[in-house]
Chains A and B, each alone.
Chain A
Amino acid sequence: MDSRRCVRIAELAVESAIIGPAAGVAVLDLDPPARQQLVEDRMDDVGSSGSPTARDEDMDDLRVTVESRGRAIVLAVAGELDMLTANQLQQTIESALESHPPLLIVDLSKVEFMASAGMNVLLAAKEAAGSTTQLRLVATGNVTLRPLQITGLIDYLAVFKSLDAALRES
């Protein structure tokens, strides 16, 4: 690998702080025209969030919304669940458990990336919920189901295919 052709991340960090996450990535070992094209693609992203390459760039963060549904608290999680954002979910779960709801549903169906750090949070949530609160997950795609399967957490945590199913079962 030719490290001279690799853009330094330190510079990128500065760039992304100024322009925002959409323009923060240019670490590829590209020939100059391809790199230029990449830069142009990202400039487009800044202007229009609907472009095809915007998917990853707009998902730097994690968004968790809290909703009461009868006896359940539903945490709808969207975005990227990695070692940078896992703590945010953990805090939201801890807050939700403070009111001792009978049912806590963590809906992962809008999660676009889930790393082991995210699964550690889910495991800790199960332990924190204890016998007071039933913890249920909603996971629909490979991005979340596959890591849950590989780690065996799918057998330890109650995983549902839809929010309705998670709410319905008593």
Chain B
Amino acid sequence: MSSRSGAQPGPAAVDTLHGEVGDFGCADIPSTAAGLPSIRHALAAWARRAGVNDDLVDQVVLATYEAMANVVRHAYPHNGGGTFDVHAAYRADQGQLRVIVSDRGRWQRPSTRTGYGLRLIKALAAHTSVAPGAAGTTVQMSWPLLSTNRQPACTG
């Protein structure tokens, strides 16, 4: 992608047009399938408020859902009531939207069933990292904010 710094609106203009959004954050989400739809809906609403177009919203929401679903399926094998956190940041100045899903469990070896989820995450996000550790697993995903990701704002 070529840089067109002269032609596209700067971050300040975008923030003015779409309103500044704070980071999306939720901590201590119970690791159950029933809790995921409300997080998914809230994340979608947040991304739309940030001015992200519907197509990218769909990608962010699906990738995040799969990361959360992996926590529910694999992080706490004994269903011991584990929790996880979701954090999302829209950074117009860095041209990036990123989502972090972190748990405090330990993923079991991915089976073929997990395969689809991880494949979706890796294909949907521009950059993905999955960091398993003694304290838990952190999935980071990010998307570049191209000028076409911003919905047009017209005045006058």
Residues of B within 8 A of A80 (CB): 37
Task: Give chain A residues whose Cβ lies under 8 Å from the Cβ of B120.
Answer: 115-116, 147, 150-151
| Tally of chain A residues near chain B (CB < 8 A) | 43
State A70–B29 Cα separation when bound (angstroms).
47
> Does A72 sit at the interface, judged by CB under 8 A?
no
Task: Report the stretch among B9-17, B57-65, B126-134, B140-148 that lies at the interface.
Answer: B57-65
Q: Are A28 and B24 in contact (CB under 8 A)?
A: yes
Q: Which of B27-65 contact A (CB under 8 A)?
A: 27-30, 33-42, 44-46, 55, 58-59, 61-62, 65
Which A residues are CB-close (under 8 A) to B75? none
Minimal Cβ-Cβ distance residue in B for A115: B65
State the Cβ distance, A60 to closest chain B Cβ, in Å.
Answer: 6
A60–B24 Cα distance when bound, in Å, is 21
Instruction: Let me know if A116 and B27 touch, CB within 8 A.
Output: no
Which of the segments A7-15, A101-109, A155-163 contacts the partner chain? A7-15
A56 at the interface (CB under 8 A from B): yes
- Asked if B77 lies at the interface with its beta carbon under 8 angstroms from chain A, I say no
Q: Kindly report which residue of chain A lies nearest to residue B124, judged by CB atoms.
A: A150
Interface centre among B24, B25, B35 (most CB of A within 10 A): B25
Beyond A83-B72, A115-B66, A151-B119, is A29–B23 a contact (Cβ under 8 Å)? yes
Q: Verify if A84 is at the interface (C-beta below 8 Å from B).
A: yes
Known contacts: A1-B27, A29-B25. The answer to whether A60 contacts B58 by CB under 8 A is no
- Which of chain A's residues has its CB closest to B117's CB? A116
What's the Cα separation between A25 and B24 when bound, in Å? Answer: 13
Contacts of A84 in B (CB 8 A): 33-34, 36-37
User: Which of A16, A25, A83, A146 meets B42, CB within 8 Å?
Assistant: A25
Whether the pair A1, B23 counts as a contact (CB closer than 8 A) is: yes
A28 touches B42 (CB 8 A): yes
Residues from chain A with a CB closer than 8 A to the CB of B25 are: 1-3, 5-6, 28-29
B44 touches A56 (CB 8 A): yes
A26 to B42, CA, bound (A): 7
Tell me the complex Cα distance, A117–B72, Å.
12
Q: Which residue of A lies closest to B87 (CB)?
A: A1
Complex Cα spacing A83 to B116, Å: 13
Assess whether A3 is in contact with B85, with CB atoms less than 8 Å apart: yes
Bound Cα distance from A8 to B26, whole angstroms: 8
A44 contact set on B, CB distance < 8 A? none
A residues 85-119 touching B (CB-CB < 8 Å): 113-117, 119
| Residues of A that sit less than 8 Å from B by CB | 1-3, 5-10, 12-13, 16, 24-31, 34, 38, 53, 56-57, 60, 80, 82-84, 113-117, 119-120, 142-143, 146-147, 150-151
7 A-B pairs with least C-beta separation: A3-B27, A116-B116, A1-B25, A29-B25, A150-B123, A27-B26, A56-B41
